[in-house]
Amino acid sequence: MRMSPTLSAYIGRQFLLWFAGMMLAILAIVFLLDTVELLRRAAGKPDATFWVVVRMGLFKLPAMAQEAFPFIVLFSAMFTFWRLTRSQELVVARAVGVSAWQFLAPVLVLAPLIGAFQITVVNPVGSVLVAQFERMEDRYLRGRANELAVARSGLWLREVTDEGQFLVHAGSVTPGSQELRDVVIFELEGDEEFVSRVDAPSATLEDGYWVVRDGWYNRPDHLPELLAEHRVPTDLTFARIAESLAPPETMSFWELPGFIATLEATGISAVRHRLHYQSLLAQPVLFCAMVLFAAAFSLRQTRRGGTLLMVAGGVVTGFVLFLLSDVVLAFGVSETIPVPMAAWAPAAASLLIGIAALLHLEDG
């Protein structure tokens, strides 16, 4: 029997209402816990006032929301199906010939649409806000004044040390080494007053210094000098440079492909960014898997105590999937397995397991 559009719209509306309520509840809890943790970290830092910490918590909230979205979809679908089953509405639908797959259809359509909305709208907005959070965290909680960026013209590093301010530009990074190519280093003082400039074919990071060899040293009112070796102090390491260059969480979904191309052209590994981009693309599939798991847990919970078992099953399922996803993503970051496999395997495996579980319960 074909399910009526009215029933489909009703089930879809119930899911959206549960989704909105669950999202507000979970985000409120996350915001409260995260703000308390930020207040603990801000203790003893006079610049990090209460309102600064609250703003930081709000800026971080969209990123936390994206982490929680699969669980919100899971619990929203579970409670939607549980309520419809407890009120006998799905029992009546089955009695007139509507199969489980038919009344799952509206939710299975809405879940990937929510995933598409997340990656195309929520993610770009969240990336801007989390970038602001990172800057405030560096300023108020970590006390850092270093800035790193990659542009199409190459790599830019800005660092403030006890010996002055330094702005480093490199055309590229030699793969597998700690060497920058086509280097220009500006030394600044005070309100960015120019002190000197060094132009060199390369610079190597060694023991807290950029070691520049065969570079031209330019100062105001002085003739250029060719230096066999020149040292510029730095607190950076190549590991930190790789980690700090626009973390993937601070990049919009729409900007990631171009930024990945720029990173690879510069010679810096873009594995984390490619993995993040592929993981975002896999979100709609993961959300569909969450709906199938929710149906497997909630459609038959009609006896007393069923609600507790349903919630416990959902929590355990979410925890296991989160743990396995982290393990697989770690293999992807280390390039033990290909990046597309690491990004798509958790979502694809979850979808197949969810289909198998529902087939066993409904048709087995």
Range with the poorest average pLDDT among 142-146, 250-254, 297-301: 142-146
Residue range(s) defining the domain that contains residue 206: 147-235
* 299/206 same-domain check: no
% the chain with pLDDT above 70: 86
Q: Which residue has the higher pLDDT, 121 or 47?
A: 121
Among residues 227, 226, 215, the alpha carbon closest in space to that of 168 is found at: 215
pTM: 0.75
Phi, psi (deg, nearest 5) at residue 264: -65, -35
* 12/160 same-domain check: no
* 212/162 same-domain check: yes
Strands (E), the chain: 147-151, 154-161, 164-173, 179-189, 193-206, 209-218, 225-233
Q: Which residue has the higher pLDDT, 15 or 181?
A: 15
% the chain with pLDDT above 90: 16
* 14/138 same-domain check: yes
* 77/95 same-domain check: yes
* 206/118 same-domain check: no
Sign of the torsion formed by the C-alpha atoms of 130, 135, 141 and 144: positive
Q: State pLDDT tens for residues 287-332.
A: 999 898 888 877 765 544 555 666 676 677 777 877 888 888 888 8
pLDDT of 163 higher than 80: no
Q: Which residue has the higher pLDDT, 322 or 126?
A: 126
* 15/109 same-domain check: yes
Q: State pLDDT tens for residues 169-179.
A: 887 777 667 78
Q: Which one-letter amino acid corresponds to residue 316?
A: V
Question: How far is C-alpha 212 from the chain's CA centre?
Answer: 36
Residues 22, 52: Cα–Cα separation, whole Å: 27
Edge-to-edge strands of the sheet including 193-206?
A: 147-151, 154-161, 164-173, 179-189, 193-206, 209-218, 225-233
Is residue 253 included in any domain, yes or no?
Answer: no
Q: Given 189, 212, 235, which residue is the final one in a domain?
A: 235
Number of structural domains the chain divides into: 2
Is residue 47 included in any domain, yes or no?
Answer: yes
* 166/120 same-domain check: no
pLDDT value at position 266? 60
pLDDT value at position 114? 94
pLDDT of 347 higher than 80: yes
> What's the mean pLDDT in 255-275?
78
Q: Which residue has the higher pLDDT, 88 or 176?
A: 88
CA distances from 224 to 182, 198, 217 (A): 18, 9, 6
